[in-house]
Chains A and B, each alone.
Chain A
Amino acid sequence: MIPAQFEYVAPTTVEDALAALAEGGEDAKVLAGGQSLLPVLRMRLNAPSLVVDLGRIESLRGVRDDGDAIVIGAMTTHSEVFHDPLVNEHATLLVKAIEQLADPQVRHRGTFGGALAHADPAGDLGAPVLAMGATFTIAGAGGSRTVAADDFFQGLLTTVIEDGELLTEVRVPKFTGWGAHYEKFVRVHHQWPIVAVAAAVRTEGGTIAEARVGLTNMGLTPLRARSVEAALAGQPATDEAVRAAAASATEGTHPPSDLNGDADYRRHVATVLTRRAVLAAAGA
């Protein structure tokens, strides 16, 4: 219930946070909203000697317009992203996913950057961000680098963020006017998805002009269903056409087998959820 002892610092700038992390070395841990880290510390699955709290760094918070993209600060909470007018106008897929992520109390504390840095395969933000082709800005001692969503997720709870580095912001291209839907399959409402599918669709008349599809919990990282995207382009937004395209959602997936369902079951569910998500996003 109670974490092991640690030293604590709460810097107010990214530079000070990086300096603290450099000093703390590999025993230092970044604290964002704490909604995943504090349970881990309480269960003593991890016992860092230094915790660097980003909660007082104002520059990491908020959403701004950047031409053809919106930029979301890593420390913007789930509930702030959910209510943000820019996100609601240009990235409705995020709104749809956050609406179903955890519960109100957790959404008040948990952050956009924290959830992505945590990289839980069942996390609800990875698939939408991957599907939208976001880029991640990571700050380190030697300056900042940007990483494409396709390269960001490396494996189970692992991203390209190295010790001593910080995720500072995520740049999400604008999907203005696209329809979006996040179809999440769970047993209990505020829990992690067994499988979920994120879909953004641009329709012209009754035809799907372009589609983006991301899969949650179908492997150790979120996955982009590129073959489904290709199969959907130019198709009518009908149940029949979307059902046929959704059949390839399982391509390249490695779903886990656990108490919630085995891998074959998840593969089946993924095709069903893909069909539902795409049809809902297309408004059909």
Chain B
Amino acid sequence: MTRINVTVDGASYSDDVEPRMLLVQYLRERLGKTGTVIGCDTSNCGACTVHLDGTSVKSCNVLAVQADGHEVTTVEGLATDGELHPVQQAFHENHALQCGFCTPGMIMQSIDLLKENADPSEEEIRLGLEGNLCRCTGYHNIVKAVQAAAGGSR
């Protein structure tokens, strides 16, 4: 067991974990943050995307011990005082989810891409989301939602 100290969605945690525990397991099974989901076995789907110190990572491909001393934000930490994050709101308004399974990862990656490029073209949005798969194939509305969140100037 290894002791880790992490901040997740603004709260500090100190836990003993097996080194082999994946960050996504830690979030879901230890902290009960089941908003972050597991969609594949190959690190291809992006459903498990969270932010580690503010940049997006696939939490199925990071060990919990690697997050020791760092800050994690999950989809559950985005809303403030009951108010949705603008990207969450845009997904809601643009019908950017069907079954919703890819949505947590899509939202976390969309926030990351808008942080790097506040006014992305459609092409840039599609490239920024290349590591996130939607099994319902609802990509058009996802792209629309990101455009709407960006202010829709392009």
Chain A positions within 8 Å of B, measured between CB atoms, are 1-8, 10, 31, 34-35, 38-39, 41-43, 51, 53, 55, 79, 102-106, 108-109, 189-190
Contact A105 to B65, CB < 8 A, known contacts A6-B19, A39-B43, A190-B131: no
**Contact check: which of A3, A35, A189 meets B43 at CB < 8 Å?**
A35
Measured between C-beta atoms, what is the minimum distance from A55 to chain B in Å?
A: 6
Q: 13 interchain pairs (CB within 8 A)? A: A2-B20, A2-B22, A38-B43, A39-B42, A79-B55, A103-B132, A104-B113, A104-B131, A105-B58, A106-B58, A109-B57, A109-B62, A189-B127
The answer to whether B112 and A104 touch across the interface, beta carbons within 8 angstroms, is yes
Measured between C-beta atoms, what is the minimum distance from A212 to chain B in Å?
A: 27
The answer to whether A106 and B20 touch across the interface, beta carbons within 8 angstroms, is no
CB of B12 closer than 8 Å to a CB of A: no
* B44 contacts across to A, CB distance below 8 A: 190
**Contact check: which of A1, A41, A102, A105 meets B49 at CB < 8 Å?**
A105
Contact A189 to B130, CB < 8 A, known contacts A2-B25, A42-B41, A53-B66: yes
The answer to whether A55 and B66 touch across the interface, beta carbons within 8 angstroms, is yes
The answer to whether A3 and B46 touch across the interface, beta carbons within 8 angstroms, is no
**Contact check: which of B20, B55, B56, B63 meets A5 at CB < 8 Å?**
B20
Tell me the residues in window 34-70 of chain B with beta carbons closer than 8 Å to chain A beta carbons: 38, 41-44, 46, 49, 52, 55-58, 61-63, 65-66, 68
The answer to whether A3 and B58 touch across the interface, beta carbons within 8 angstroms, is no
Q: A189 to B46, alpha carbons, bound, how many Å?
A: 14
Measured between C-beta atoms, what is the minimum distance from A206 to chain B in Å?
A: 31
Which residue on chain A has the smallest CB distance to residue B22? A2
Measured between C-beta atoms, what is the minimum distance from B12 to chain A in Å?
A: 20
* B2 contacts across to A, CB distance below 8 A: 8
**Contact check: which of B52, B63, B128 meets A104 at CB < 8 Å?**
B128
CB of B93 closer than 8 Å to a CB of A: no
Measured between C-beta atoms, what is the minimum distance from A68 to chain B in Å?
A: 32
Contact A8 to B61, CB < 8 A, known contacts A106-B131, A189-B130: no
* B22 contacts across to A, CB distance below 8 A: 2, 38, 42
Tell me the residues in window 60-119 of chain B with beta carbons closer than 8 Å to chain A beta carbons: 61-63, 65-66, 68, 109, 112-113
Which residue on chain B has the smallest CB distance to residue A7? B19
Additional A-B contact list (10), CB under 8 Å, known A34-B61, A104-B130: A2-B22, A5-B19, A5-B20, A8-B19, A8-B65, A31-B63, A38-B22, A39-B42, A55-B66, A103-B46
CB of B122 closer than 8 Å to a CB of A: no
Q: A13 to B43, alpha carbons, bound, how many Å?
A: 30
The answer to whether B62 and A34 touch across the interface, beta carbons within 8 angstroms, is yes
**Contact check: which of B56, B66, B127 meets A105 at CB < 8 Å?**
B56
The answer to whether B131 and A6 touch across the interface, beta carbons within 8 angstroms, is no
Measured between C-beta atoms, what is the minimum distance from A58 to chain B in Å?
A: 13
* A5 contacts across to B, CB distance below 8 A: 18-20
Which residue on chain A has the smallest CB distance to residue B48? A105
Q: A61 to B45, alpha carbons, bound, how many Å?
A: 28
Measured between C-beta atoms, what is the minimum distance from B75 to chain A in Å?
A: 14
**Contact check: which of A51, A103, A104, A108 meets B19 at CB < 8 Å?**
A51
Tell me the residues in window 1-20 of chain B with beta carbons closer than 8 Å to chain A beta carbons: 2, 18-20
Q: A175 to B21, alpha carbons, bound, how many Å?
A: 43
* B112 contacts across to A, CB distance below 8 A: 104
The answer to whether B131 and A105 touch across the interface, beta carbons within 8 angstroms, is yes
